[in-house]
Structure 1
């Protein structure tokens, strides 16, 4: 189900862990939370103020979700089911605001100078895009 007109999705990434699984290369393993927030007036609800928000995990496959993907990255450490309840949170607020949080682990290929390792300053880039 596509949202009406244009939907603005706010995306934030919170870095949880950073480690170097292989000290002889410029690859780093990161663990992070990706938080996405948007408004969808089609799913507003009124329940007399009984609920601050609804846990929407059981209905995730029926909601519009942004098609967010990563470019210029290494690889995901292990595949995660998109709606695995251990790794996501999906909340719908009475005004139709949606918060979607997912936890991911990725191995990044970084740019650095191995000749002066570990005293270099590696730079690890990745980008997030949407197909819509």
Structure 2
């Protein structure tokens, strides 16, 4: 199965508009919200999947600088993380590079706890998008 066959979901999104000196950004918020909802496959249980933050001034630019940034809590990170964990476990079980970790005080419990933590995150995300 390729990434093109997988339907990803967004748990939450934020659109940040800076430098709206004329106060016109709110006129476009509904249009932007509809576009984000249709593009990012928002989960059905979140009644407000798109949040907006606006600022009259843009601290990163000059007097007339403006910018729009969007951040999404999106599930497309799951496949690479699952792959990374499976590869890491293979290397761990083979004993690869472990002497470096033992040298600096890490233990098997540290690895077990890390694998469990990442596995819990993946499981929780999968449950959240059902």
Which category describes the TM-score, using the shorter chain as reference length? under 0.3
TM-score w.r.t. the length of structure 2 is 0.25
Bigger radius of gyration among the two:
2
Q: Which has the higher helix share?
A: 2
Q: Which has the higher strand share?
A: 1
